[in-house]
């Protein structure tokens, strides 16, 4: 690893450039939420520029963050950097790289934070242009690729295995190029540190409560039962294979079991870009589909449970955090809650099977006192450990700024 000019003192201003593939504003996906939040928190310690490889659709509304794009809508296609790339890497044009190098020299960042292994091709050019280069790994992609083999039956096994090995090689190369790595959880840190003998610092910078400013810090009252009890919610990108698998199990297996004991039970599926298979689920008894909701707050304010039967996935599950921040009890598979370190049977309920998830939902709905305790415990835990102050502290440490007042 190259040596660089010393970073500013801990209490000095820190200039940070955040590089993403998609524009992070307006934040819609989980990746957008994390990228925009990282930029907003870094702006508390000095000037921030948030730059995307792809063109911007709208200007960011936060005056504390400068936004730029490395590509222009409608411009002629130019050659890409690197003569070869694996499927997990994004295509980056030579013109985009030229704009990035010009921007770095103009903005003069102390730290460049790069989003994910998909932007690997930018790490080497950036290496000599900044004092501190950080790779923010929303997921350990090699581990995620192995999980996706289990839920994406259409992809040949040999191709999936080969892709996973290619990603792992890329991750090892990245570890040798950067000064620090950010991950979402302690589990991801352990996975990453096992990949290489390079002793690069790996910081846990968790995903925080999404839209925390618009979530209730005081536990709201539980919605009334009415004729539909419980109303069960699943929120997520409904074109993403692990989520498609999860909602098919929810609608086809879990909900019918719940309705045997609680005939008024209703399932609300909400998210972006649902596949035809997901749209078809809306024809099943008790299932409602909400496509591309502008806000999930109205949904979270009227539901009684969230069930998340994920069999694959990476990072940490911001939709669990969002549900708990609204006082919605969560029942999930262990993998769905991985990395959150929530207390089982107190802050959430866990089961590996559809039968177990359904039984837990019925039991919780029939025990109002237990449900109330879980709502209180989960709401308190999420705001204490994933609220704005906790994430600000993690970002500060991840930038190498140490504790407040240090």
Task: Report the pLDDT value the prediction gives residue 68, as an integer from 0 to 100.
Answer: 93
- Could you give the CA distance from residue 180 to residue 163 in angstroms, rounded to a whole number? 25
Q: What is the pLDDT of residues 35-57, one digit of tens each?
A: 999 999 999 999 999 999 999 87
Q: What is the pLDDT of residue 332?
A: 96
CA pair distance 237, 241, nearest whole angstrom? 9
Tens digits of per-residue pLDDT, 218-237? 999 999 888 899 999 999 99
Question: What is the CATH code of the structural domain delimited by 16-208+388-398?
Answer: 3.40.50.2000
Q: Name the pTM for this structure.
A: 0.86
Interval 64-85 mean pLDDT: 86
With residue 132 as reference, give the H or E element that holds it: strand 132-136
Taking the mean position of all CA atoms in its chain, how far away is CA 145? Answer: 16
Q: What is the pLDDT of residues 282-300, one digit of tens each?
A: 999 999 999 999 889 999 9
Q: 128-176 pLDDT, tens per residue? A: 999 999 999 887 766 666 655 555 555 555 455 556 678 888 888 999 9
One DSSP character per residue, 187-242 reads: HHHHHHHTT-S----EEE-----TTGGGS-SSPPPPPP-TTS--EEEEES-TTSHH
Q: Across-strand partners of 344? A: 348
2 or 175: which leads in pLDDT: 175
pLDDT surpassing 60 at residue 406: no
Q: Where are the domains of the chain?
A: 16-208+388-398, 213-386
Q: What are phi and psi of 224, to 5 degrees?
A: -65, 160
**Which tens digit of pLDDT belongs to each residue from 164-220?**
678 888 888 999 999 999 999 888 888 888 877 768 899 999 999 988 988 999 999
Higher pLDDT, 227 or 17: 17
Local confidence band at 88 (pLDDT 50, 70, 90 cut-offs): confident
Could you name the CATH architecture of 213-386?
3-Layer(aba) Sandwich (3.40)
Separation of alpha carbons 336 and 328, rounded Å: 16
Q: Which two tokens stand for residue 289?
A: 């589909």
State whether residue 115 is helix, strand or coil. strand
């Amino acid at each position: 690893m190259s040596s660089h000019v010393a970073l500013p003192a801990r209490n000095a201003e820190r200039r940070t450039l955040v590089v993403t593939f998609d524009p992070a504003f307006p934040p819609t996906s989980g990746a957008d939420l994390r990228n925009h939040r990282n930029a907003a928190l870094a702006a508390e310690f000095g000037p921030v520029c948030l730059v995307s490889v792809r063109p911007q659709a709208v200007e960011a509304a936060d005056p504390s963050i400068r936004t730029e794009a490395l590509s222009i809508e409608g411009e002629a296609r130019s050659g890409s950097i690197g003569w070869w790339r694996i499927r997990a890497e994004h295509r980056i044009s030579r013109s985009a790289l030229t704009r990035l190098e010009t921007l770095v020299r103009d903005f003069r960042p102390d730290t460049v934070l790069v989003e994910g292994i998909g932007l690997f091709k930018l790490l080497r050019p950036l290496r000599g242009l900044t004092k501190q280069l950080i790779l923010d790994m929303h997921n350990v992609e090699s581990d995620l690729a192995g999980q996706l083999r289990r839920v994406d039956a259409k992809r040949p096994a040999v191709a999936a295995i080969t892709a996973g090995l290619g990603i792992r090689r890329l991750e090892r190369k990245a570890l040798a190029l950067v000064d620090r790595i950010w991950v979402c959880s302690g589990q991801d840190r352990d996975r990453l540190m096992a990949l290489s003998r390079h002793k690069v610092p790996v910081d846990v910078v968790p995903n925080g409560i999404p839209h925390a400013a618009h979530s209730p810090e005081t536990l709201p009252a539980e919605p009334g039962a009415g004729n539909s009890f419980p109303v069960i919610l699943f929120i997520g990108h409904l074109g993403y294979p692990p989520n498609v698998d999860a909602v098919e199990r929810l609608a086809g297996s879990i909900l019918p079991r719940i309705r045997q004991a609680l005939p008024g039970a209703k399932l609300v599926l909400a998210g972006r870009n649902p596949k035809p298979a997901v749209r078809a689920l809306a024809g099943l008894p008790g299932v409602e589909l909400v496509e591309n909701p502008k806000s999930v707050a109205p949904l979270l304010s009227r539901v009684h449970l969230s069930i998340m039967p994920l069999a694959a996935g990476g990072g940490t599950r911001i939709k669990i955090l969002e549900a708990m921040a609204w006082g919605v009890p969560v029942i999930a598979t262990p993998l769905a809650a991985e990395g959150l370190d929530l207390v089982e049977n107190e802050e959430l309920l866990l089961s590996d099977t559809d039968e177990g998830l359904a039984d837990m939902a019925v039991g919780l709905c029939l025990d109002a006192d237990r449900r109330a305790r879980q709502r209180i415990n989960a709401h308190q835990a999420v705001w204490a450990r994933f609220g704005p102050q906790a994430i600000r502290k993690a970002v500060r440490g991840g930038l190498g700024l140490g504790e407040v007042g240090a």
